[in-house]
Structure 1
């Protein structure tokens, strides 16, 4: 009888053991290691992420190694300049190595854009020539910012009347180039005539020596108020810089005289769409000085604006904002545009 009960007990144990649940872990074939930055300024952090071959983030279960030494967590900071090899190990599966570099900031380059200021007028029959050149420039590069400065009269009785006229005579007196149209590159260089045949002159200004400063804008338009933050970051020391900030409007419909062969050679072009039209300047037209204590390597200068939407604006949803930095000679060094709601970061190359 005792043997019988022992056999029943063993059978019950065997049944219970066989009915237990087991979790079978999926095998991982490989993992991918990435860094949020490949170049960083000393004293600042680089963050690493690891995903398995199914795209699942396994960062928290991963051990990271920098130059073969395990680190705590998934961020790394160096106080010395240099290049470091980074590896990751997730449950025995090792990543490919990547390298990150820490420097003093002087090696940082920014996307370089050219500012194109088109002095124009709805009454001006030759002005579509520059507008057409800007369209051709758009086919060659995205690294430019156009601004349409309508001139020269708000007097409805004038033959030069323009409903979008904005007085920039202070700047035009310095440029000292009479008549319209005139296309100005980076404020102080005249776009060679005929502009549509010299698009390469504008493209060339997006190349070559890096400006060593970049801009990032964060504009918000709400309830008739503009809140705009303009940030400028420097990767070398500067002196004598100024900031200029424009408010533009797109989608303005008004007739355009046209004496050119462009746009079908039609005069007048009815219901012409005028874009990038200058509506207000939030700084002095020639720029607001930036303190030399701000324009130093690794520093970010911030200028904030809280202003009412200009009364001449027709459609708040069509607003556009442009900020650029000029040197002591008034030349634009770099420029950036943004629409309401954009939250920009610096464009580091």
Structure 2
């Protein structure tokens, strides 16, 4: 029996060892090739060389392999270069070996000579001067030295610039300084050609055509020439105009004149701005905001609005989802073309805030219109049918979505709280002489349904190219309990609401049962 106990004990001891051994080998089975790397393959006598090993997937396996220097295994990945000449390093793991990595060891530096392949370069940021440094024996020690531009340390052995000027460079190693070299960044223009990133722009003050000037070598010299619209000098290599028509643009440099470039400024395409207001019947400050926005909509056909209700009988289920996307937690509040202006901007002031009016003006008159929208709508029984097309006037590279709202006017639902009743400072408000709770209050622009996801449906990226028209297809919306005679369809195209730029490119509205084309 004692013998059996001994045998059992031995087996119990051996099995865990085997398991541990198998586990380690299985971990390393992914090493099918090895590559060696070193920050410097040319070093000076006495310097430390650090070796790194990676596998076929680029994973660091330095601690898993054996490293050999001139066929002698070393402990760890570091060694000191103790002899002048060439050292050959390789790594092994089982039967897998790396290619040899050659390390060149040079004598200690006693003198340095700095040279450069180009003493004159163009200020183009891609005309490159490359430095080389050799020691007293003519050995290349570029990787070992520190470069200086003037008196300041410079981190590269190459130099480019987009500025005209004269620059002095030198190199040093442990107190040993090289000669100095001067590099000139200069222009020698014998001919100019002028082009632009676009030849048609909308006639506004904020959309520019970038002007591109090329010299005889087709190198860009845009920042060094003067530009003219006819005889009027421009401020720089960009052109805009609020004047509709063709404009003759030229570039000049020291008596050399470019070709004539014609850029057309066309009538600005129409843009409509959608203001989304967050409201509720329980919110006593909200009636004035609704009134202010209604006054704006009535005075400007390019302004649309929608009331998105919270916590009442007209509440829209995804109101908080939209509002929280802008970090808004108060009522009344709003976003102008999906641009949030901040809590200090009041929609419920006695007169609508100038900040809101200025943002509306900016979007309508001062931004390029990138897309247009057409809507066809009909209804029968308890269903509405909506077809939306989007025409892209410029290519959009970011993700854009389309959203369809169904809104209803003249909706009477419950009672509306009114904090403006007798409230000092609001004597001119239409709500000043009304009771604190208004019964049978009529709501307009109420968001009742969405024909898309609340945050919009994505337009495929291959459909957002310039001059392409994207057909969204027919969307069916239930209008049960909704008066179609008082209902409208709003469609808008916007950047993805999860991005930094959430703004609306354009919006369109049509009475339910009718159609509207592109506002061009």
The TM-score bracket by the shorter chain reads 0.5 to 0.7
Q: Which residue of 1 aligns with 2:187?
A: none
Q: Which residue of 2 aligns with 1:325?
A: 493
Cα deviation for residue 107 of structure 1 reads 5.5
- Which 4+ runs in 1 deviate beyond 6 A? none
- Write the distance in 1 (CA, Å) between the matches of 2:395 and 2:266: 13
- Write the distance in 2 (CA, Å) between the matches of 1:248 and 1:214: 21
Is residue 338 from structure 1 mapped to residue 494 from structure 2 by the alignment?
no
Alpha-carbon RMSD across the aligned residues, in angstroms, is: 2.5
**Any conservation in 2 of the 1:112–1:211 contact (CA below 8 Å)?**
yes
The alignment partner of 1:196 has SS state of coil
Q: Identify the match of residue 184 of structure 1 among 316, 329, 335.
A: 335
Cα deviation for residue 285 of structure 1 reads 1.4
Q: Identify the match of residue 367 of structure 2 among 209, 227, 245.
A: 209
- Write the distance in 2 (CA, Å) between the matches of 1:248 and 1:139: 16
Q: Identify the match of residue 269 of structure 2 among 74, 94, 110.
A: 110
Which shifted more, 260-269 or 321-330? 260-269
Q: Would you say how many aligned residue pairs link Structure 1 and Structure 2?
A: 237
1:274-326 CA distance string (max 9 Å, x none): 11111111111111111122111111111123424244x33122221111011
- Write the distance in 2 (CA, Å) between the matches of 1:235 and 1:108: 13
Which shifted more, 196-205 or 300-309? 196-205
Q: Which runs of 5+ in 1 are unaligned?
A: 1-82, 84-104, 154-161
Q: Which residue of 2 aligns with 1:138?
A: 297
1:1-349 matches, within 5 Å, as 109-138=268-297, 140-151=299-310, 153=311, 162-167=312-317, 168-190=319-341, 192-193=345-346, 194=349, 196-198=352-354, 199-204=356-361, 205-239=363-397, 240-254=399-413, 255-260=415-420, 261=426, 262-265=429-432, 266=434, 267-311=436-480, 313-328=481-496, 329-348=501-520
The alignment partner of 1:322 has SS state of strand
TM-score, normalisation: structure 1: 0.63
Cα deviation for residue 138 of structure 1 reads 3.0
- Write the distance in 2 (CA, Å) between the matches of 1:247 and 1:135: 17
Cα deviation for residue 109 of structure 1 reads 4.3
Q: 1:135 to 1:276 in 2, by over 3 A?
A: closer
- Write the distance in 2 (CA, Å) between the matches of 1:237 and 1:290: 13
- Write the distance in 1 (CA, Å) between the matches of 2:388 and 2:324: 28
**Any conservation in 2 of the 1:116–1:145 contact (CA below 8 Å)?**
yes
**Any conservation in 1 of the 2:377–2:385 contact (CA below 8 Å)?**
yes
Q: Which has the higher contact order (CA 8 A, sep 6+)?
A: 1
Q: Which residue of 1 aligns with 2:171?
A: none
**Any conservation in 2 of the 1:247–1:281 contact (CA below 8 Å)?**
yes
- Write the distance in 2 (CA, Å) between the matches of 1:207 and 1:306: 31
- Write the distance in 1 (CA, Å) between the matches of 2:289 and 2:297: 12
- Write the distance in 2 (CA, Å) between the matches of 1:202 and 1:174: 20
- Write the distance in 1 (CA, Å) between the matches of 2:449 and 2:471: 20
Q: 1:248 to 1:343 in 2, by over 3 A?
A: same
**Any conservation in 2 of the 1:320–1:339 contact (CA below 8 Å)?**
yes
Cα deviation for residue 208 of structure 1 reads 0.3
